[in-house]
Amino acid sequence: MSNQLALFSEPAGAPGLDQARDLVARYGSALAIVVNMSGGKDSVRMLGYLREQFPNVRMYVVYADTGFEHVRPVSAETWSRERAAAYGLPLHVVRNPNTTFLSMVERRGMFPDSKNRQCTSDLKRGPVEVFIRSLPEKVVLNCIGIRAAESPKRAQKEPWKLNARLSKAGRRVVDWMPIFRESLADVLAWHKSTGTPFHPVYVYAGAGGYLKRFSCRVCIFSTAADLHAIHANDREAFDLVAELEQRIGFTLKSGKSLFQILGQAPASADQYGSEESPCF
Ligand code: SF4
């Protein structure tokens, strides 16, 4: 294997920092870091980490708008722009020009699910890939704020992996999860120590909100507890999805409409819903 190929190989169990440093040293201004930013706690923490580790590397903060992002009391886009600006960076907003979360569901007559996540692929990953292909830099670290501790499924992911689909025509792209080894406590502690606020929909650290996850206003992975909280705090979003269920005759959650879920108390173990960031 040549040295160049070796640099793109997968490290054994490492989160990738050494490999990233090697690539930065080797490619200089031909390399860029893309920071996938949702406005959620993990992507904000990841941005802080990357700015600390690579203050002089060209960095693009990219926000993929599904058309069903949080809008109150401050939009997810505005929040993300402010977080990027705190590090002196602009926010690049990308979206699928042909559809939004709600229009996609209406056109298909069904909601995505965990096995068929068209929302993630067509509204998040796809537009970010278009952005990456448009960059002048031919080596790209595509950074995603996934952590192993979020779930057993997440723990199986590879935190450093060549993206074969994007690595064509002289371009090399590595999908990297720089905070893969961090715990929830690590992320919360970083916010506290740096004085970085949480978006107001969060329950964390006095943010005053009602969710542990930062997702679309209603997400295919929203738990019963999440849906109760959304009904109480973002009635417009709840009603949009509940009415869509009735129009297309298909429910967000298997076997139960949102109104049926609302009629039952969520299990106590589900009190606060999942902590896993849903996308990517
Ligand atoms: S946040 Fe949820 S509903 Fe929105 S794109 Fe991601 S998985 Fe789909």
Tell me whether residue 210 is in a domain: yes
Look at 227 and 264; give whichever has higher pLDDT. Answer: 227
Residue 188 near residue 198, CB atoms below 8 Å: no
Q: How many residues in total does the chain contain? A: 280
pLDDT at 115: 86
Residue 64 near residue 96, CB atoms below 8 Å: no
Q: Among residues 225, 213, 196, which one has the least CA distance to residue 150?
A: 213
201, 213, 215, best to mutate for ligand 1 pocket (most atoms within 8 Å of CB): 215
Can you tell me which atom of ligand 1 is nearest the CA of 221? 2
Burial 165-182 (b: 16+ CB within 10 A, else e): ebbeeeebbbbbbbbbeb
Statement to judge: residues 223 and 130 lie in one domain: no
CA gap 29, 88 in Å, rounded: 18
pLDDT at 11: 37
Tell me the longest C-alpha to C-alpha distance in the chain: 62
pLDDT at 270: 54
Statement to judge: residues 100 and 238 lie in one domain: no
Burial class (CB in 10 A: 0-12, 13-18, 19+), 41: buried
Residue 62 near residue 34, CB atoms below 8 Å: yes
Statement to judge: residues 15 and 104 lie in one domain: yes
In this prediction, residue 29 has a pLDDT band, given cuts at 50, 70 and 90, of very high
Tell me whether residue 50 is in a domain: yes
118, 216, 252, 275, best to mutate for ligand 1 pocket (most atoms within 8 Å of CB): 216
Model confidence at 277: pLDDT above 70 = no
Can you tell me which atom of ligand 1 is nearest the CA of 124? 5
pLDDT at 268: 55
Model confidence at 3: pLDDT above 80 = no
Last residue of a domain, one of 176, 209, 229: 176
Residue 276 near residue 214, CB atoms below 8 Å: no
In this prediction, residue 280 has a pLDDT band, given cuts at 50, 70 and 90, of low
Tell me whether residue 84 is in a domain: yes
CA–CA–CA angle 162, 164, 167 (5° rounding)? 90
Q: How many CB atoms lie within 10 A of CB 49?
A: 18
Statement to judge: residues 48 and 123 lie in one domain: yes
pLDDT at 51: 97
User: pTM of this prediction?
Assistant: 0.92
The pairing of strands 139-143 and 160-162 is: unpaired
Statement to judge: residues 78 and 164 lie in one domain: yes
pLDDT at 272: 45
pLDDT at 206: 80
Statement to judge: residues 250 and 121 lie in one domain: no
Task: Give mean pLDDT, residues 117-135.
Answer: 96
37, 42, 66, best to mutate for ligand 1 pocket (most atoms within 8 Å of CB): 66
In this prediction, residue 14 has a pLDDT band, given cuts at 50, 70 and 90, of very low
Task: Encode pLDDT of 115-125 as tens digits.
Answer: 889 999 999 99
In this prediction, residue 275 has a pLDDT band, given cuts at 50, 70 and 90, of low
Range of the domain at 220: 201-270
Task: Give mean pLDDT, residues 105-134.
Answer: 95
Count of domains observed in the chain: 2
Task: Encode pLDDT of 65-100 as tens digits.
Answer: 999 999 999 999 999 999 999 999 999 999 999 999
Residues in the ligand 1 pocket, defined by CB under 6 Å: 66, 101, 117, 119-120, 123-124, 215-216, 219-221, 278-279
Residue 39 near residue 212, CB atoms below 8 Å: no
Distance 120 CA to ligand 1 centre (A): 6
Tell me whether residue 93 is in a domain: yes
pLDDT at 205: 78
Statement to judge: residues 142 and 11 lie in one domain: yes
Which residues, at least 6 apart from 178, have a Cβ–Cβ distance to it below 8 Å?
15, 16, 17, 20, 46, 49, 50, 53, 143, 145, 159
Statement to judge: residues 127 and 231 lie in one domain: no
Distance 114 CA to ligand 1 centre (A): 10
pLDDT at 279: 72
Statement to judge: residues 95 and 144 lie in one domain: yes
Tell me whether residue 123 is in a domain: yes
Statement to judge: residues 165 and 210 lie in one domain: no
CATH number at residue 122: 3.40.50.620
Residue 249 to residues 114, 221, 262, 264, Cα–Cα distance (Å)? 19, 19, 18, 21
Tell me whether residue 183 is in a domain: no
Considering just the CA atoms, what is the radius of gyration of the chain in Å?
19
Tell me whether residue 279 is in a domain: no
Q: Among residues 132, 114, 122, 142, which one has the least CA distance to residue 68?
A: 122
pLDDT at 255: 86
pLDDT at 103: 98
Task: Give mean pLDDT, residues 25-35.
Answer: 98
Statement to judge: residues 148 and 223 lie in one domain: no
Statement to judge: residues 142 and 217 lie in one domain: no
Tell me whether residue 78 is in a domain: yes
Residue 37 near residue 45, CB atoms below 8 Å: no
Does an H or E element contain 108, and which? helix 101-108
Distance 193 CA to ligand 1 centre (A): 30
pLDDT at 276: 58
